[in-house]
Amino acid sequence: MAIAARQPYNRVYVMLNAIKQFLGDMYFLSQARAIHELTRLDPDAKRGLLATYAATYDTFVETGTYLGLTAAFLAVAYKIVHTIELDPVLYENAQRRLRSFPNVHCYHGDSATVLQQILPSINGPAVFWLDAHYTGGITTRAAANTPVMGELMAILAHPIKTHLILIDDARWFVGRNGYPGLRWLHTYVRDHSPYDMVIHDDIIRIFRDDEWTRPQSFLTNDPEPVTRIPASAA
């Protein structure tokens, strides 16, 4: 009788879990769509935007080399470019593409780990472009879909506190599949560093100077305002 009595309860429990999972997935999709619809730059426009920061910074650090196109483009803008790739085939191909640029340094491995090896050599403010998220296809997944928290923790621990940290694909940061939620991330940044955070063009921007709240965009007549997470949410 006891076993029979538990069966309806088990069915209800399974059903409630299924409903909870479904509602969570719907929330994820709605949030991803809402963030996606703010604005989004194509790859060439992103590279152009990243190049503009070379007027202020000498060093550019990229996680997620992929084909090496961004590193090649920015090699003529920055004095030093560091780029990290996890997938061995992508790394070898990118290394061949970038070997003609003496100021570009290619690294193979998990970006959260390799960053800790690179950071001691950085003695001035740098631009960090965090784009090592797993996206399927020819990319490789590490222990999680994104190493961004390990990367961010390493950068925030660096003694220089005037870096510009840019994280691509803000639309995926909704608290699922290994990605932290945007409000949680904003609170973490404020609690563990002197930086602030804004979102624009599907890019999370973590900065020290209020100057960076005025985003530069290669979209003409772009009416979209910066989406700032209010301090009251922290």
Task: Provide the residue count of the chain.
Answer: 234
For strand 203-207 and strand 164-168, is the pairing parallel, antiparallel, or unpaired? antiparallel
CATH architecture of 38-233: 3-Layer(aba) Sandwich (3.40)
Q: Which residue has the tokens 């070997």?
A: 99
Tell me the domain boundaries of the chain: 38-233
CA 82 to mean position of chain CA atoms: 16
If 0-12 CB within 10 Å is exposed, 13-18 middle and 19+ buried, where does residue 216 land? Answer: exposed
**Per-residue tokens: 105:** 């340094």
Encode 147-171: b = buried (16+ Cβ within 10 Å), e = exposed: bbebbbebbbebeeeebbbbbbbbb
In this predicted structure, the answer to whether residue 214 has a pLDDT above a threshold of 50 is: no
Measured CA angle at 113 (ends 70, 186), to 5 deg = 75
- Give me the mean pLDDT over the 168-175 stretch: 87
Q: Worst-scoring range by mean pLDDT, 10-24, 57-71, 135-149?
A: 135-149
How does pLDDT run across 128-151, given as a tens digit for each residue? 999 988 665 556 666 666 899 999
For residues 104 and 83, the answer to whether their CB atoms sit within 8 Å is yes
3-state SS, residue 82 = strand
pLDDT for the residue numbered 37: 47
**Per-residue tokens: 10:** 């088990």
Q: Which residue has the tokens 């590193």?
A: 71
**Per-residue tokens: 182:** 């945007």
